[in-house]
Amino acid sequence: MTPEKLFHELLGLGLNWEVTESRFERESGTIFLEIRERPALWEWARCPQDGGLVLCYDHTEVLTWRHLNVFQHRCEITCRLPRGKCRQCGHVFRVRPPWEGLSMHFTKEFEAFALLLLREMPVSRAAELMNETDTRMWRLLFRQVDAAYAEADFSQVCCVAVDEMCVRKGREYISVFADLLRKRVLFATAGRDRETWLRFVEALEKHNGHRPGLRLGITIRIMTRGLWARLPGWRRFGD
């Protein structure tokens, strides 16, 4: 088995993609894997707008994705991604490769390992271990958090605690709302006034939460005059 076929199996590229070249650059200590599409890709590819059949329109410039290290050496995937054109509506789009993560500069496997580190240590330390910059690691983390939060379900939330937190010297605060039963943060936003609560209600209902019957444990010291009239069915406990 050639190195290209071995990497093809390890990456799980299937029948639509192939590793055409693998090389090691001693000066930079980096392994490069060059990938391109196979003709079989266009048999299953469909237009994202109307689901019609597509054909190859052109290719992008060479793009690069950081992959997990091969032994101790940095590994990068390079590819000129194909762009498809719908035969029916003429829409042109970039084909998304199976290895690409949410941040577009990393593979899914790299992002998965990075998230394991980011859960256990500061971003700067994780970036040092992954030999990446803090900026790119923060972007990776933000994209993953945004994607996960968009799918969050608050339909079972019934008991919420809220408290304030000072984020800088002076009087800059954020309010944090947490699910007391499942021990998770539901929402955080700047400020500690009544608009803070209304933003939480908006986020709660956006994620299938139910406003009536919700119990609130309040440890936050904010002005709530007239607020409870706008939150019917809520019960309050705490100070």
Per-residue pLDDT of 206-219, as tens digits, reads 998 887 656 665 54
Residues in the chain: 239
Q: Note the pLDDT tens digit of each residue in 51-76.
A: 999 999 999 999 999 999 998 899 99
Residues 34, 19 contacting (CB under 8 angstroms): yes
For the chain, what is the mean pLDDT?
Answer: 87
| Spans of all domains in the chain | 3-100, 108-151, 159-238
The pLDDT, as a whole number, for residue 164 is 83
Q: What are phi and psi of 172, to 5 degrees?
A: -105, 120
Phi, psi of 11 (to 5 degrees): -85, -10
Residue of 175, 203, 208 whose CA lies nearest to 191: 175
Query: Which pLDDT score is estimated for 68?
Result: 95
pLDDT average, residue stretch 46-51: 92
Is the CB of residue 10 less than 8 Å from the CB of residue 70? no
The DSSP call for residue 105 is S
Instruction: For residue 200, count other CB atoms closer than 10 A to its CB.
Output: 22
pLDDT per residue as tens digits for the range 125-171: 999 999 999 999 999 999 999 999 999 999 888 888 888 888 777 67
Q: Which residues, other chains included, contact 222 with Cβ-Cβ below 8 Å and sequence gap of 6+?
A: 164, 175, 192, 193, 194, 196
d(C-alpha 209, C-alpha 211), whole Å: 6
